[in-house]
Structure 1
């Protein structure tokens, strides 16, 4: 992990990125060099331009990533709905057996089944 710092090296002031372990005692040793922010900015811009220049590669990967996230979210939602339905069905049976009102539970079950 790096941290952005204002550096004064032999009278030359600049903004650099340094390993946190060089700034604080972390118990880990870092062998990475200090990186000048201007150099870092240029390298990042070049990398983004290279990526955007080859649209076929990054667009396909982007579409795969988006689809994966959507499928994962839908699966989690479906699993959560199934779990809630099971809980509500148990509560419904308890209330029905005890001759208690269960209209709210039944309404929620119907809504979850629609989802």
Structure 2
């Protein structure tokens, strides 16, 4: 999948969607090591940090798993939803809204904890 540099969808979300698509299609199978961040960054023509953000999100969702010094491996096939590569912009926007709400809750909890000190 070509990454659209002019899309309203963040580059890391596009990379995440494509990696998830590649896993769902069987290009990367469970237990298999995926290419390095550097290699993926070159494939997508984006910065390594962009790929890192996508990989971190897939790790958080339980799709990928990193082993220190060994690489990043496919842990599970993505479930249905935005990660499963619907390609639907509305689904991507909904996922971003959910993530923003989660971050808002986390920041509020941290602020409340700091206020109680």
Q: Say yes or no: TM over 0.5.
A: no
Q: TM-score scaled by structure 1?
A: 0.29
Which protein is bigger by CA-based radius of gyration? 1
Could you say which structure has the higher helix fraction? Answer: 1
